[in-house]
Amino acid sequence: MVTAYVATSNTPYVGKGRSTIGDFILEFPELQEKFRVRALALERALKDARADRSPTNNPQTLWKKFKEDLLAIAKEFSRKRVALIDREIDMWQKRKEAIHNLENLEEQEDELILLDEIEDNITDLLAAKTLPQKTKMEARHHFVAETNTKYDYILHSEKKPRDTIPRLRKAGV
């Protein structure tokens, strides 16, 4: 089987694969504001491109740059948010260790209550860090697991029965 791709020489390169932004990131208003500002900049650039169109300044290249910028903004925001959560977890872990290092901890009820609150805070922060990623992975698995792959088609295709070795066949049977 032969496959051919026909395109003009000035067709922009799209690239391979698809980059995605986690759904949970889009819920933050500060990220929405950054996306809105970048979308307004794209709108202005598209209006300017109508009058002054060139191979480097056209809607296709502007759109490609816009998508790259959105991915970069989301990646940076996600990285900063995870770093912030990690710092908070470390802070709570240090408080927990300080309480554990106290002498006669069993006798101090206030410290035991505080220790329970610290444990709850750490659990909540770990959930905030990992739950959205886990949800995204589960959704992707559900989507991919429900689609048939090339392997499934090969495995379940009808095949003619395999005969015995011709030299071992009895004549007339």
User: What pLDDT sits at residue 127?
Assistant: 86
User: Lowest-pLDDT range, 22-26, 53-57, 118-122?
Assistant: 22-26
Distance, in Å, from the CA atom of 117 to the CA atom of 92, rounded to the nearest integer, reads 10
Q: Write the Ramachandran bin of 165: left for phi over 0, alpha for psi from -120 to 50, otherwise beta.
A: beta
For residue 69, give both structure tokens.
Answer: 């910028």
- pLDDT tops 70 at residue 67: yes
Domain boundaries, the chain: 23-148
Please give the model's pTM, rounded to 2 decimal places. 0.58
Each residue's pLDDT tens digit, 152-164: 777 777 776 666 6
User: What pLDDT sits at residue 82?
Assistant: 84
Could you give the angle at the alpha carbon of 6 between the alpha carbons of 4 and 9, nearest 5°?
135
